Chains A and B, each alone.
Chain A
């Protein structure tokens, strides 16, 4: 067994950096796509909306290994997306995490926007707001829920192992992230290092949530 402190010094920082890079990019993409989509769904009065919301909520339960498997098939040499050349790259890992994080961003944003008083959009219009201003204001009113959506998406991404292991391949220095490193170290019997990586993962999640809390302060007061 290698000495854990030695392993930490050698491998830890590149793994941490890669984890942050992959999950950060995935959450950013999922947020840019998912927040406007969630706002639109939350305000939509279409009869199809409840059905779409059920689909989105189902997406929250997507098994990561299934996402990884499907993405692997699509990106492999004989797959329709082989031309991208993404298999065993960071792009494939980001794509997998976007697929897993997106339903969380859309679903929680939709609920947050739908929880804003139904009369508010009409009242904003009567004060002279155009449709863009109405949507932006409603999103602002739902900001605590939207941030929760981003935090949940980050939690889903950073803690996920099945999909990134399949499409990333856990290549040292290239696609090895905290969760895949934990799996590897456990299989090698390096439990101390695996636990250290696990503690780092939790600390990272805690840090991001504290940052989000600080960005936003406490939730709004309600009578």
Chain B
């Protein structure tokens, strides 16, 4: 018998004014998998991640995490703290890199000694030498690494990634992919990774889902998705006809 889904979405809509950003009839994320959300810019990937993170409410429909239905208003803090979202455009505190990485631990544990955990994650992402530097002096790519570090240090059960390598050079893209793969292997973290990069999805995902204009087009194992897509739009996307 297969394990119950981690996330289960039914008839979920998210509307901003007249714009329907997400319109998903049925969608599930399985525990312990790395699922890539593929889709062009504006497909609704970020909105879907915000809904899964419990920081935004669906306009209609139901999202379940494990057994419990939730939305941004009703999700208990203790459950929300098991899910962490790395944003596409991270906003950092006007403080040092270390203080930014510590933030999530501090709100959970107060001023308890957090140094070792923070040092470890800074080291893994090559940020140790920037630890005492003001976050506002970092480059776009470094800011993205700090945003990933402040999420990883929390060791969440679910890691939601919104284009976490968008501003990184190829060497750092490889570093981030390696670190996240290690997380996946060592802690069986469940990952939902939004990207518009087909090659990245192929490298990191076990399952891939395609979103177009907020709607789920197809979801399949990585191999099936790329080698034998069932929907012609998926085929077009994989063939590079819909990338912009």
Q: Do B137 and A221 have beta carbons less than 8 Å apart?
A: yes
Query: How far apart are A140's CB and chain B's nearest CB, in angstroms?
Result: 8
Main secondary structure of the interface of B (DSSP, over half): mixed
Contact flag A128-B136 (CB < 8 Å), given A119-B89, A123-B91: no
A79 CA to B201 CA, complexed, in Å: 75
- Please tell me if A80 contacts chain B, counting CB pairs below 8 Å: no
Nearest-CB residue, chain A, relative to B88: A119
Q: Do B94 and A220 have beta carbons less than 8 Å apart?
A: yes
Chain B residues, CB < 8 A from A126:
53, 55, 83-85, 87
Q: Binary interface profile of B, 125-158, with partner A (CB < 8 Å = 1, else 0)?
A: 0000000001011000000000000110010000
A123 CA to B154 CA, complexed, in Å: 14
Q: Do B107 and A119 have beta carbons less than 8 Å apart?
A: no
A residues 171-213 near B (Cβ < 8 Å) are none
- Please tell me if B61 contacts chain A, counting CB pairs below 8 Å: no
- Please tell me if A91 contacts chain B, counting CB pairs below 8 Å: no
Contact flag A119-B77 (CB < 8 Å), given A127-B151, A137-B93: no
Chain A residues, CB < 8 A from B87:
119, 122-123, 126
Residue numbers of B with Cβ under 8 A of A are: 50, 53, 55-56, 77, 80-81, 83-85, 87, 89-91, 93-94, 103-104, 107-108, 134, 136-137, 150-151, 154
Q: A119-B91, A123-B90, A128-B154 provided; 13 other pairs, C-beta below 8 A?
A: A117-B91, A119-B89, A123-B87, A127-B103, A127-B104, A127-B151, A128-B81, A128-B104, A129-B103, A133-B107, A141-B93, A221-B94, A221-B136
User: What are 19 pairs between A and B in contact, CB < 8 Å?
Assistant: A117-B91, A119-B87, A123-B85, A123-B90, A124-B103, A125-B55, A126-B53, A126-B84, A126-B85, A127-B150, A128-B77, A128-B80, A129-B104, A129-B107, A140-B93, A141-B94, A220-B94, A220-B134, A223-B136
Residue numbers of A with Cβ under 8 A of B are: 117, 119-120, 122-130, 133, 137, 140-141, 220-223
